[in-house]
Amino acid sequence: MRIVFDASVIISAFIATGMCKDVFEYAVENHEVIISPYILNELKGKLTQKLGFSHSEYQEIREFLTDSILTLTEKTGKLIEFSDKKDIPILNLCNSVRASLLITGDKQLLKLKVIDNTKIISPSELWNIEREHQL
């Protein structure tokens, strides 16, 4: 399965133990996880400007991500309409790479439920999907 994580879930996976960390680690080990330069840039801004991470701390996280998961650039030809313009590149990435899942905590994105062939779910919902696939 191809899975895209939004920046907030990735941040939660790195700064706290719990659901986001477990889901992210599981996905990296068992699926094809994809991020984009846009998501990496968003991570950098949130980690360094909002959460006080140093540049070198961010670089360590970036290095781990780029070594462990696929980094692809979203296509911009077919633009997806969405009210929050900051989320359009993430939705375009899902469309471009034909992601099975977008894992997010963003309530607006979760309301969409699906866009093209990508199911939009919360981190905890991944366990339900995995159980269905194992039956």
* pLDDT tens, position by position, 79-131: 677 777 888 899 999 999 999 999 999 999 999 999 889 999 999 999 888 87
Per-residue pLDDT, 78? 56
> What CATH architecture applies to the domain 2-134?
3-Layer(aba) Sandwich (3.40)
Task: Name all contacts of 23-32 with Cβ < 8 Å and 24+ positions apart.
Answer: 23/103, 23/123, 23/124, 23/126, 23/127, 24/123, 26/126, 26/130, 27/3, 27/103, 27/126, 28/68, 28/69, 31/1, 31/2, 31/3, 32/1, 32/2, 32/3, 32/70
Domain extents in the chain = 2-134
Per-residue pLDDT, 79? 60
Judge whether residue 134 has pLDDT over 70. Answer: no
